[in-house]
């Protein structure tokens, strides 16, 4: 059963990569545009899709590590969270959010970074 979940997650990520490639090719060679360049809204859409695929890769890695070691690795889970928050920050439209929400997002980023540093330093001490 666990192997099936891993295969399905990998298939979803592979399909998403193919879809991203198709979207990129269609956007670059769009006959309605005068030039071969992407517009800003298209770039934001593609970057968002790219980060979703990156999160999918990390989730597949997390599930794979769990099935191998039967332990959830906090470092990989934190990496998924950092990538997800990075995606949010990159695609963030500052005019749509109140300043307090942006401050909250900054606090989340600092907390995730601090947790990641603590875990990495504990791994270094443990393995030296």
Total domains in the fold of the chain: 1
Checking if the pLDDT of 18 tops 90, the result is: yes
pTM, to two decimals: 0.73
Select, from the ranges 7-21, 40-54, 73-87, the one with the highest average predicted confidence (pLDDT): 7-21
CB atoms within 10 A of CB 25: 10
CB 14 within 8 A of CB 60: no
d(CA 100, CA 118): 27
Domain interval for residue 33:
2-126
> 48 Cβ partners below 8 Å, 6+ apart?
87, 90, 91
């Amino acid at each position: 059963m666990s192997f099936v979940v891993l295969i399905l997650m990998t298939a979803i990520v592979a399909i998403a990569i193919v879809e991203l490639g198709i979207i990129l090719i269609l956007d670059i060679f769009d006959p309605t545009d005068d030039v071969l360049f992407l517009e800003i809204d298209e770039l934001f859409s593609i970057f968002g899709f790219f980060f979703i695929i990156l999160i999918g890769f990390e989730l597949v890695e997390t599930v794979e590590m769990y099935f191998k070691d039967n332990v959830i690795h906090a470092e990989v889970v934190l990496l998924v969270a950092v990538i997800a928050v990075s995606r949010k920050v990159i695609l963030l439209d500052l005019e749509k959010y109140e300043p307090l929400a942006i401050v909250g997002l900054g606090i989340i980023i600092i907390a995730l970074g601090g947790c990641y540093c603590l875990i990495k330093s504990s791994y270094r001490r443990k393995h030296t």
